[in-house]
Amino acid sequence: MLTTANELRKHLKRLDAEIAQHELSLQLLREARTGVLEELRLSLIYPVLTLPFEITSTIFLECLPDYSDDSTRSYPSQDDAPLVFTRVCRDWRTIAISTSTLWNHVRIELDSDDGPGYIDSKWVSLLDTWLYRSEPQPLYLTISNRSYTEPDQALVDVLDRHSRRWREVTLKLPFSHFSRLGATTSPMLERLTLSAHGSPDIINPISAFRYSPMLRHVCLEGGMHSSDVILPWAQLTSLELYGASADDCLELLRSTASIVNCILDVQYASHALVLGAPLLSLRSFVFSGQAGWSTLRYMAMPALQKLDLTRCPPGPRNVAQLLQFVTRSGCQLRDLKLYVRSGVTVQTVYLLRSLPSLETIDLTLAEADAGTAIFREFKSSDNDVILPHAESISLLCIHDDNHQLLLDAVTDALAMRSQSSAENPRRLTSFTLLVDTNAPGPGPEIRQRWRELSANGLELCIGNISERWI
């Protein structure tokens, strides 16, 4: 029993401290209860907030724009993923910023002084933050500034800091910015597209990409030429050159003996060309440009299987050059894409007869008459079958003059070729015809013959730009 006043005071002090401690615990419990009630309320109103982190992150990834689609906005916007997720609530912002794969694709294309303008310091700051959030993922970058106002100087520093994570990179910048990129190693870089404007440094070519052991695909366009950049050419398997000269193309092909796929747009001819070494690995070749045909005579591709001349329409003399190229190469073409004008139908028929190994043919017809003349040749005797191994044929008719005659000739040819024989063991299995106008469809007799062909196993897709006839 406490008898003295001093002891009573001490006991009272202990009780007060214990009461204060319990009051603090009670306050903390009340706050925790309030938090649980708020979470419960939100879960009833917004059940999506109760999803696990991993599921929410996966949903965010599915909402990313298709960066390969030209209709996609060409620069980041707060109204699009992933930035929009950082503006909804604290939890979503945390998840979005913590999901590095949301940020390893970025596309900033500001090619005009209108609209967003050029890549200024604000865009560079956004890019720096964006790339920081993407660590340690490989980067897929498209950075373009071709307006009259040059991008902020800090852009190069930001790109340099993350060069070891480059996987697929497209850069369209002034030559002065390329020259400032550091010549560091890019161990993950596989695909590279370069375009430049301004005056190149003819003494010191761009060397920022020379140490790229995984680089396999290169595209040079918009003023960037092979002499402007140092690259590991010998290891490439895919090459695209646009606006090139004939001598540059041939010189570069000598250094890229391992390429399998090649696209050349040759705009400038040369009178001092020599036959290059055969490109032993090249299997797919797309050719275009004003000086394209003058360059083809200096090439040989023994392994070539796919040839696309859609953007390089042959004249009467060019057909002979093409056959000489095939003969010189000793290749067995399987796939041919060709633009055909009415003035070269005879030569085109001769070309197709001379390439019996073709299995897939894609013809763009300047006029319907060109296709009519070609397909009438399909009704030749069995001893002179045109395209005996053809399995798939596609036609695009630009103008619809006399297109009904084309439909008649096509139908007759398909009826003959849909049957196999000793001379023609391979049946045609697929045929596509698009009339690139609103031309009227055929009569009921033709449609009935198409239905019979389709029932016999021939896959048909025939129509105009607004209607499919079968």
Tens of pLDDT, residues 121-145: 899 999 999 999 999 999 999 999 8
Task: Say what the pLDDT of residue 423 is.
Answer: 54
pLDDT for 380 equals 58
Within 240-358, residue ranges assigned H as helices are 246-255, 292-296, 316-329, 345-353
What pLDDT sits at residue 384? 66
List the chain pLDDT tens, one digit each, 470 residues.
Answer: 556 888 888 888 888 888 888 888 888 888 888 888 777 666 656 677 778 889 999 999 999 988 777 767 778 888 889 999 999 888 899 999 999 999 999 999 887 544 567 888 899 999 999 999 999 999 999 999 877 778 888 999 999 999 999 999 999 998 888 888 886 789 999 999 999 888 787 778 899 999 999 999 999 998 888 889 999 999 999 999 999 888 888 888 888 989 999 999 998 887 656 667 788 999 999 989 888 888 888 889 999 999 999 998 888 888 888 999 999 999 999 999 999 988 888 889 989 989 999 999 999 998 888 898 888 887 654 556 788 889 999 999 988 777 888 899 999 888 887 765 555 545 788 999 998 888 888 888 999 999 989 988 889 999 988 888 98
pLDDT for 417 equals 77
Domain ranges of the chain: 237-333, 334-470
Cβ count near 275 (within 10 Å): 11
Q: What is the per-residue pLDDT for 179?
A: 82
For residue range 347-394, list pLDDT tens digits in order.
899 899 899 999 999 999 988 888 988 888 876 545 567 888 899 999
Q: What is the pLDDT of residue 117?
A: 72
| Tokens (6 digits) for 295 | 């360059």
pLDDT at 419: 65
pLDDT on residue 158: 93
The angle at the Cα of 155, spanning 151 to 161, to the nearest 5 degrees, equals 170
Q: Which pLDDT belongs to residue 211?
A: 93
pLDDT value at residue 42: 63
Cα distance between residue 322 and residue 326, in whole Å: 6
Predicted confidence at residue 461, as pLDDT, reads 93
Per the structure block, which two tokens stand in for 267? 């705009």
Query: Residue 10, Cβ neighbours under 10 Å: how many?
Result: 12
In what helix (H) or strand (E) does residue 454 lie, and over which residues does it extend? helix 444-455
Cβ-contact 153, 186 below 8 angstroms: no
The helix/strand/coil state of 137 is: coil
- pTM for the structure as a whole: 0.83
Distance CA 62, CA 81 (A): 10
pLDDT of the residue at 396: 92
Beta bridge partners of 162: none
Residue 203, CB-side half-sphere exposure with 13 Å CA sphere? 0
